[in-house]
Structure 1
Amino acid sequence: MTIGILKEIHDHRVVMLPEIVKTFVNMHVSVIVEQGAGEKAFAKDEEYKAVGATIATREEVYTQADILAKITPFTSEELRLLKPGQMIIAILNPLANKAYVEELMQRNVTAFGLDVVPRTTRAQAMDVLSSMATVAGYKAVLTAANTLSKFFPMFMTAAGTIKPSKVLILGAGVAGLQAIATSRKLGGVVEVFDVRAAVKEEVMSLGAKFVEVEGATDDSSAGGYAVEQTEAFKAKQAQAIHDSAVKSNVVICTAQIPGRPAPLLLKKETVEEMTPGSVIVDLASSTGGNCELTRDNETIVHKGVTIIGNSNFASELPTSASRMFGTNVLNFLKLIIDKEGKLNLNFEDDIVKGTCVTHGGQVMSERVKSFLHL
C-alpha cells in the first residue's frame, strides 16, 4: 500500500507532516511525497526522507500511489490524472456540489470526504472540520484584535481607565467556542448567539453571556449541526443581534449550515450603526457570509467598520493546522489499512461508509445520498 501526499496549490497547509508519515511507515505503508509539499508548513523534503518517505514529482505521485491524499478538493483536471482503482481522500464538499459527486461516480472513483466524517463520539479523532474550526476561531480573534482601533482588555493607567472591548460571536460551534475562549483570554467582554440552546452551558462555562431568542426549531436530531429556522424566529433573532452588534467593537461570524448558504445575520443597516473603528470577521464568507456586506477573501471598510471575509484562516497557521489535520487523517486511515499495511475497506463500519462519498460508481454515504436526493 502506497500513500501519495500532494502539494496544495492555493493553501499553505500539507495533509501530513513528517511525524505522521513516520507512523505510516511503521505501519508497513509506503509514502511518496510531492516535492515541496510541506515547504509552506515549514516541513522540508529532507525531513520526509529522514522518516522513510520517497520524494517525487507530482506526476510520479499520481502514477505510484494507491491512495492520494490532500486537503483541498481534487479538481476535475486532477481527477483526470487518476488511474483505475486509485483512491482519493480530501475535503470534498459533496453536500454543496451535486455535479462534482456525479463526476466522481462517472469516473468510478473511490473518494473519501473528510468533511462528511460522521459526528459521533468514536469519530471525533477524525473530525477535520472541528480541527480546522479550532484554528479558524483562534486566528479570527487575533486578526480582529490586530485590526481593532482599541485595546481588548481593560486597562487602569495613570492616563485613565480603558474599558474592555465588547465582542459578539455569532454561532457557538467549534470555531465560535474557540473564538470565545481566545477573546476572553485577551480580556474581551463576550456575548454569543446560537440557535442551539444546547450550547448555552458551554458558552457560559467559557465566561461569555449567552443571548437567548425564543422559538428556535428543534435541532436535537441534526447531529450537532445547525438547522434552518422559521421566518418568525429569524425576525426576532435579527432584532436581538442588531441590538447587541451596535454595542460591540468586534463581531466574529461563524454560523454555517452544511450544504446551504450561510445564514444572513448581520445586515447593512446594523453595520452602519456600529461604532467606527469596529471590526467584523466573517468565517462564513465562502458560503455567502453572515454579514450582508462581506466579500469572500477581501477586507473592506464600510463607514468606518472593517469587514474581513476569510473562510480559510487555517491556512494562515499552517504548522499547527497541518499537524491537527494529519492526525485526523491518520486516525481515519487506520480504519481501512490493516496491521500488514494492506487496504481493508469495511463498509460495515459506519465511519468508513459514512465518509465514503463514492465507490464503484455509487454514492456510499447515506448522508450525501439523502442530501443530494441521489
Structure 2
Amino acid sequence: MVFVRIGVPREVAEGERRVGLVPETVSRLVGEGFEVLVETGAGWDYNLDEHYEEAGARVVGSAGEVYGEAEIVVKVAKPAEEEVGMLREGQVLICFLNGPQEPGLVERLAKRGVTVFSNEAIPRTSAAQSMDALSSMGSIAGYKSALIAANTLGKYVPMLSTAAGTTKAANVLVLGVAVAGLQAIAIMHRLGANVFAYDIRPETKEQARSLGATFIDSEDERREEEEDGWEEYEPTGWRRLMVSLGFYSFAEPPRDEYVVEGEEEEEAGGEEPEQWSREKLEADQRLVRERIKEMDIVITTALAPGRRAPKLVDREMVESMRAGSVIVDLAAEQGGNCELTRAGETVKHAGVAIVGPINLPSTMPIHASQLYARNMYNIIRHITSGGEEEGIRLELDFEDEIVSKMCIAHGGEIRDRLTREALEESRSGGG
C-alpha cells in the first residue's frame, strides 16, 4: 500500500501566525489514508501539539524531519533560505509564492527539482473556487481593513443622535470591488457608513450595489442631470379631447416625438457592455477625483497578478481630502495603490493618515488558518488519487487547468511564463 506523507512545518517568516493545516483537516486527511507530519509548535497557541496528535498526525521535533519525510509540504509563506536547502527533488511545495515577484527564489527551487504550487496562480474558475486561498485571505483582509479604518478615524462611522446633537455618518470610498473590496463594503455598510465604490469592471457595479454601496458612475451622473429637466407628458389639443371621451390610448405620447422611459434600454438590448469605453473610464476617473474630496475613509484593494499594484490615489488627491481623513491601502506590500503609501507604516500627509498594513490575514490566525487549511485540503485531493484501502498516489495532470496554472515549477524547469520573463528582466538589469 502506498501512502503520501504531508508535512506541515512551523512558519518562520516574521509576523506569520497562520499554519498550513489545522487539526480539522488533518483528521480528514488521515481518515482518507494520508500520513501527516507536523512540526512541534506549528499551530502556535491556538492549535496545540496534542490537538494534532488527537487528529492522527505525528508531531515531530524539527523542520528537518518534516522536510526529510514528507512528499507534499504545505506552508503559508514562501520558504526562507534555510527551508529551500531542506527541500528535495520530486517534493511538492504548496504555499503563497508570487513567482513574478520572486523569480530568483523560484529558480533556486526549480534547480533543486521541487514542484512548486503557487496560491497566487489559482485560476479564477468555478472549479477552482474551493481551492482559492487568495480569495479566502482577501475576505479577511477586507474585513480587517474596515476595522482599521474605523479605528484610525477620529469620528463615529454611523450617524448618531446624542444629547449634544447629531453626528453625520462617515463617507467611505472603496476602490477595487473584488473579494477584499466587497467585504470592506459589507462591513462599512453594517457599521452605518455612507459607502461608495468604484472599479473599472462593469460586472462589479451590481455587486457593490447589492451590498449597499453607491457605485460611482459618470453615466449615472449624466442621466441624473438630464432627468432634472424631465417633464411629464400631458396630451393637448385633439388628443386631450379624445382622452376626455374615453379613448385613453391617446394619453400615451406619440413615438415619433417622445422616447418612453425604459424603452431606450430595451432597444439597445438591455445588456451592459463587457467593457466600458476609454472615454467613459476617463470620465469616471475625473468623477472619482472629485468625489474623494468628500470622503472620510478611502480603502484601496486593487492588485494586478504578477505586477506592482496600480496607482489609484496620487499626492494631489490626498491633498484634496479633509484633514483627519484616512486611507487604508491593502496593496501596500505590492507597492501600494496610493502614491504615498509605505508598507507596514502609517504616514501622515496634509492631515491625512495613510495606513499601509501588511499580512492582515495573520492578524486573525484562527479563522485564517481554518479557511486556508480547507483550501489546501482541496488542492491536495485534486493532485492525488486513491484512498485508505488501495493507497494514495500523487497524480499531476498538466492538461488540467488548475494544475497547469498553479504549478509554476516542475522537473527542474520554471513553468510560469511571467516568472520566466521577470527572471530574464532581473538578469538584464531591468529588475
CA deviation map 1:3-28 (0-9, x unaligned): 11011122011111110111111111
Alpha-carbon distance in 2 for matches of 1:366, 1:267: 31
Indicate the SS of the match to 1:131. Answer: helix
Name the counterpart of 2:101.
96
5 Å matches for 1:227-242? Answer: 236-242=283-289
Name the counterpart of 2:396.
345
Shift of 1:158: 2.4
How much is the aligned-residue C-alpha RMSD, in angstroms?
2.5
Alpha-carbon distance in 2 for matches of 1:283, 1:308: 9
5 Å matches for 1:8-157? Answer: 8-9=11-12, 10=14, 11-40=16-45, 42-56=46-60, 57-157=62-162
Shift of 1:261: 1.4
Name the counterpart of 2:302.
255
Q: Percent identity?
A: 42
CA contact (8 A) 2:110 2:414 kept: yes
Higher relative contact order (CA 8 A, sep 6+): 2
**What amino acid does structure 1 have at the position aligned with 2:404?**
K
Tell me which moved more, 121-130 or 71-80: 71-80
Tell me which moved more, 356-365 or 24-33: 356-365
CA deviation map 1:280-301 (0-9, x unaligned): 1100001111111110011122
CA deviation map 1:67-120 (0-9, x unaligned): 111011123432121122211110110133333333332222111112111111
Name the counterpart of 2:265.
none
Alpha-carbon distance in 2 for matches of 1:213, 1:370: 38
Aligned length: 363
**What amino acid does structure 2 have at the position aligned with 1:275?**
R
5 Å matches for 1:205-354? Answer: 205-212=210-217, 236-338=283-385, 339=387, 340-354=391-405
CA contact (8 A) 1:8 1:71 kept: yes
**What amino acid does structure 1 have at the position aligned with 2:57?**
A
Alpha-carbon distance in 1 for matches of 2:153, 2:345: 17
CA contact (8 A) 1:168 1:191 kept: yes
Alpha-carbon distance in 2 for matches of 1:89, 1:95: 16
- Structure 1 104/24 Cα, relative in aligned 2: closer, same or farther at 3 Å? same
**What amino acid does structure 2 have at the position aligned with 1:297?**
G
Alpha-carbon distance in 1 for matches of 2:209, 2:422: 33
CA contact (8 A) 1:241 1:266 kept: no
Name the counterpart of 2:413.
362
Tell me which moved more, 94-103 or 297-306: 94-103
1:5 equivalenced with 2:8 (yes/no):
yes
Alpha-carbon distance in 1 for matches of 2:367, 2:273: 32
Alpha-carbon distance in 2 for matches of 1:212, 1:273: 20
Alpha-carbon distance in 1 for matches of 2:129, 2:420: 22
Tell me which moved more, 22-31 or 295-304: 295-304
**What amino acid does structure 2 have at the position aligned with 1:343?**
L
CA contact (8 A) 1:354 1:367 kept: no
**What amino acid does structure 2 have at the position aligned with 1:129?**
L
Alpha-carbon distance in 2 for matches of 1:172, 1:272: 24
1:184 equivalenced with 2:192 (yes/no):
no
Shift of 1:271: 1.5
CA contact (8 A) 1:196 1:219 kept: no
Alpha-carbon distance in 1 for matches of 2:421, 2:405: 12
Alpha-carbon distance in 2 for matches of 1:81, 1:233: 53
Alpha-carbon distance in 2 for matches of 1:95, 1:237: 31
For structure 1, list consecutive stretches of 5 or more residues without a partner in the other structure: 222-228
Tell me which moved more, 363-372 or 16-25: 363-372
For the pair shown, the structure with the greater C-alpha radius of gyration is: 2
Indicate the SS of the match to 1:301. Answer: strand
Name the counterpart of 1:225.
none
TM-score of the two chains, using structure 2 as the length reference: 0.79
1:198 equivalenced with 2:245 (yes/no):
no
For structure 2, list consecutive stretches of 5 or more residues without a partner in the other structure: 220-271, 426-431
CA contact (8 A) 2:188 2:195 kept: yes
- Structure 1 246/312 Cα, relative in aligned 2: closer, same or farther at 3 Å? same
Alpha-carbon distance in 2 for matches of 1:175, 1:186: 17
Indicate the SS of the match to 1:156. Answer: strand
CA contact (8 A) 2:91 2:115 kept: yes
Alpha-carbon distance in 1 for matches of 2:11, 2:291: 40
